[in-house]
Structures are given as C-alpha cells and as structure tokens.
Amino acid sequence: MPPKAWKTLSSRPVYQNPWTSVREDLAEMPNGKTTVYGVVECKDCVGVLPFLDDKNVVMVRQYRYVFGENQRWEMPTGGVKPGERLLDAARRELREEVGFDAAELEPISTYYTSKSIMHEIAHLYIGQGLTQVQARPDETEFLEIEVFPFETVLKMVLESEVRDSMTILAVLIAARRSR
C-alpha cells in the first residue's frame, strides 16, 4: 500500500526570480504531526544529446557559477519558457547552445531532478540528423563547443568527469540502447 499523502496546511513565498522560486510550507504528516518544508520550484527543463553521426556527439562547456567550475562538458540543456512546447524548447536549446538543428528529436526520459525539496522536471532527447545553424547563446551563456566520440563521453560519465545529471542519464540511456 502506498504511503499516505501529507497535507499542506499553509504556504508562504520566500523568494522569486525569473528562473526559481522558494516557498515554505507547513505540512501535516500522516501521524498528525506538522513540519516545516522548504520547496524550490523551477520550470521544466530539456536536454538534447546531439549525435552528429553514429559515433560522435556535440558537447558544450561553460562556467557553472554554483560550483565555480569551467572544465566539465555537458549536453545542451535549458529551461522551458512559459507556453513553449517541450520539443520546441529542445530545438531552441540545441540551436542556441551548439548551433545545430535536429531532423529527429527522440524522447528518452522524463524524470525529477531532485526528489525531495526541488520541484523540477527534466525531459531528455536524443537528437539525430543534425544540420548546422547559427548559434545564438543567451546573454548569460559563454560557451565552448566540441565534438567528441560517444565512447569518450561515456567514459567521461563513468569516471565522474561529467557531473550534470541530465547528461549522465542521456548518455547512459544512449549507451544501453546501442548494445
């Protein structure tokens, strides 16, 4: 039998910007006791693992402020804009970040990026049939683009050189499918 649902007794906004909001809830647990629960909310996000051909993928590297790093490679990812369809968001991110369009975007996974305090849903795709277009990064994106053999990217994932969950999951699914 599934666990009983918690009941939200009250909710108050704590912080908000165009990408993220934080709220604090007072929740009643199944045993009748209450607890304070902080929730971080983000818009849905998309990621595309773009295959240039059967053996090579296009990756991007940028400075990641939260972790103070600039050396890790990842696939193109980004947030879904209000009213934007998921496939349209995936195409936009692919064009913006690496300068490619995909003839085919195959959905491979939808998952929660964090299961406890963050409400964010990621939608992953494999992109194939790429054609080059003009890259137009957002004003906050300063990107390096590189083509890697897929086997190299898989090794980077398995050795924890890639730490972005969207990229890790997409690469592992793609590796599993190629068996």
DSSP SS3 for 168: helix
Mean pLDDT lowest among 69-78, 94-103, 134-143: 134-143
pLDDT of 163: 93
Indicate left, alpha or beta for 147 from its phi (over 0: left) and psi (-120 to 50: alpha): beta
Q: How far apart are the first and last CA of the chain?
A: 36
Check pLDDT > 70 for residue 102: yes
Count of CB atoms situated within 10 Å of the CB of 38: 12
**Which H, E and C letters describe 143-174, residue by residue?**
EEEEEEEHHHHHHHHHCCCCCCHHHHHHHHHH
Tokens of 50: 């773009």
Q: Are 91 and 102 in contact (CB under 8 A)?
A: yes
Parse the chain into domains and list their residue ranges: 7-41, 43-177
Check pLDDT > 70 for residue 179: no
pLDDT of 140: 67
Tokens of 28: 């009643």
pTM listed for this prediction:
0.91
Check pLDDT > 90 for residue 8: yes
Pick the closest to residue 144 from 55, 69, 46 (CA basis).
69
Read off the DSSP letter of residue 116: S
Q: Which CATH architecture has domain 43-177?
A: Alpha-Beta Complex (3.90)
Q: What is the pairing mode between strands 56-62 and 143-149?
A: antiparallel
